[in-house]
Amino acid sequence: MGVLDRNLVAHRAIFEGLAGDGAGGIYDPSLAEDGSERLWMSYSAVQPSPIHGLAFNAISTRVAYSDNRGRDWTDAGVVNASAAVQLPPPHQRLAARWEHEVSRLLYDPWAPPPERNLT
């Protein structure tokens, strides 16, 4: 097993708790610590389409947190869910989705507490 193979296995283990949230993969992580030792991560979660499979993925933005410096992650929910949309004529027969990816997570220690509490 090469170095790259070992790294991929390690990353799969780290994000295994989030596998149901991104069956097609987890991409574009953005990390921030909240000042209380909790580490937060926003990421793009890819789900294959139930109709079109991998040819037409649904990409949503989700947030997760870790209380052990990133060793394990707990899903905190979806921020922007991918959604099917109806296109206007003459394209109404085409399949289309709103996609949300490449988020950026930022901790603002001066924000009032209700605005920065996610759980």
Give the pLDDT confidence score for residue 67 in this predicted structure.
92
pTM: 0.72
Please give the C-alpha separations between residue 42 and each of 10, 18, 50, in angstroms, as whole numbers.
Answer: 19, 12, 24
The stretch 16-24 carries a mean pLDDT of 67
> What tokens does 53 get?
């499979």
Two tokens, residue 17 = 């708790």
* Residue 60 · residue 77 · CB < 8 Å: no
Check: CB of residue 75 under 8 Å from CB of residue 42: no
pLDDT (mean) for 16-29: 74
| Cα distances (angstroms) measured from residue 26 to each of 44, 87, 89, 110 | 6, 28, 34, 30
Instruction: Return mean pLDDT, the chain.
Output: 76
pLDDT in tens, 82-111: 888 888 999 988 878 888 777 888 777 887
Domain boundaries, the chain: 3-107
